[in-house]
């Protein structure tokens, strides 16, 4: 029997109170079996075992992992995504919140907040991603990189930037052996009339939570399906 253990970041961390009354989140790295870490921003925070099961109930992550010489049966999924993070924020905590779990696979997404805040250049975006992918490559972690998702809320100019950023991110990902780029557009995107002919800039109406940026439960299932399909290819 396959055994999946879903571990949320909120349950994996201890709150260390500082003298000022604030706190620091300290991850708990004592996880067993195959490990899959999902990290990023609020988009990624809703992806996990439940959404994977809803997308494909019979999918077995062990089918895309190297055979275990020790007969490991357990697959542990750790989600360390933090809402509001820009790519540079994800990069700054990447060792703590991903690499230190020694995952077999890291599923990473980031960039929506970069575009939303209009404070980040494509060069900075790519550099943050390169540093994270280098960490994966240096530590034997297979990276699954999900491109910046569609957004009905973003302007045409922002979506043109997103397309350029995703192309740069895809090209960067393909320089690493075995890394995977996931294009979310065919799964959750819809055509915007005043955009380029084949654009999928908007979130499909039936998958939109209502703000044009975030997804409802069905939308996160479709993003999970995109990840699983990419892993199987």
pLDDT at 181 over 80: yes
Question: Which pLDDT score, from 0 to 100, does residue 26 have?
Answer: 52
Domain annotation for the chain: domains and CATH numbers: 3-232 (3.40.50.1110)
The Cα angle at residue 187 between residues 223 and 44, in degrees rounded to 5: 20
pLDDT digits (tens, 9 = 90+) for 78-112: 999 999 999 999 999 999 999 999 999 999 999 99
Q: How far is CA 100 from CA 94, 107, 110, in A?
A: 9, 15, 19
pLDDT reading at 20 higher than 50: no
Question: What percentage of the chain has pLDDT greater than the value 90?
Answer: 81
| H or E element at residue 8 | strand 3-8
- Split at pLDDT 50, 70, 90, the class of 30 is confident
What pLDDT is stored for residue 6 in this prediction?
42
């Amino acid at each position: 029997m396959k055994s999946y253990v879903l571990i949320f970041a909120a349950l994996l961390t201890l709150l260390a109170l500082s003298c000022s009354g604030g706190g620091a989140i300290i991850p708990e790295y004592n996880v067993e079996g195959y490990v899959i870490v999902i990290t990023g921003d609020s988009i990624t925070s809703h992806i996990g075992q439940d959404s994977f099961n809803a997308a494909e109930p019979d999918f077995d992550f062990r089918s895309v992992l190297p055979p275990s010489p020790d007969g490991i049966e357990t697959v542990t999924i750790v989600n360390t995504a933090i809402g509001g993070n820009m790519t540079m924020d994800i990069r700054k905590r990447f060792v703590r919140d991903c690499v230190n779990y020694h995952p077999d696979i890291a599923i990473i997404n980031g960039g929506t907040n970069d575009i939303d805040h209009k404070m980040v250049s494509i060069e900075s975006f790519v550099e943050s991603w390169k540093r994270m992918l280098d960490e994966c490559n240096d530590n034997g972690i297979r990276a699954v990189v999900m491109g910046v998702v569609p957004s009905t809320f973003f302007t045409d100019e922002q979506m043109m930037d997103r397309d350029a950023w995703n192309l740069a991110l895809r090209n960067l990902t393909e320089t690493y052996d075995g890394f995977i780029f996931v294009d979310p557009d065919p799964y959750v995107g819809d055509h915007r009339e005043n955009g380029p002919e084949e654009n999928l800039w908007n979130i499909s109406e039936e998958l939109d939570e209502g703000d044009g940026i975030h997804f409802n439960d069905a939308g996160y299932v479709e993003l999970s399906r995109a990840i699983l399909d990419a892993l199987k290819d």
